[in-house]
Amino acid sequence: MDKRTLYDSFTKLELETEATLHQITSLKKGVEELVEENAVLRIENQHLRDRLDDIEKQQRIDEAAIEPEMTKSRMNLEKLYEDGFHVCNVFYGSRRVDDEPCAFCLDVIYGERR
């Protein structure tokens, strides 16, 4: 192998190595950007999950404050009323004609809870 061919081979190898190095540097920069973006998105996602949990907790608190649950006895009275019977002390046990509403029954079931 003569000197010129050897020199040309080294030059070609050097150019290919520089091109490869440039490609590796470019890929490394792309990976760094992706890793940084991923970290930012993970943090943002965690903040959004925390915020969603806070909102759901507040909604549960608001729902509990707005409408307390009925006692089991009131739920039984409500079921009897829906089945068409009076549950008030005025007409207790009698059938409601045509399922007409009764203010006394509704007061017993849904009235002020003590």
Instruction: Using alpha carbons, select from 34, 1, 2, 114 the residue that is nearest to residue 68.
Output: 114
H-assigned helices in 1-114: 3-66, 72-82, 103-110
Q: Is 49 annotated as a binding residue?
A: no
Q: Is 105 annotated as a binding residue?
A: yes
How many CA atoms, within 13 angstroms, populate the side-chain half-sphere of residue 33?
A: 6
The one-letter amino acid code at 114 reads R
DSSP 9: H
Is 91 annotated in a binding site? The answer is no
Consult the annotation and say whether 13 binds a ligand. no
Q: Go through the chain and tell me how many residues it has.
A: 114
List the binding residues.
86, 88, 102, 105
List the binding residues for Zn(2+).
86, 88, 102, 105
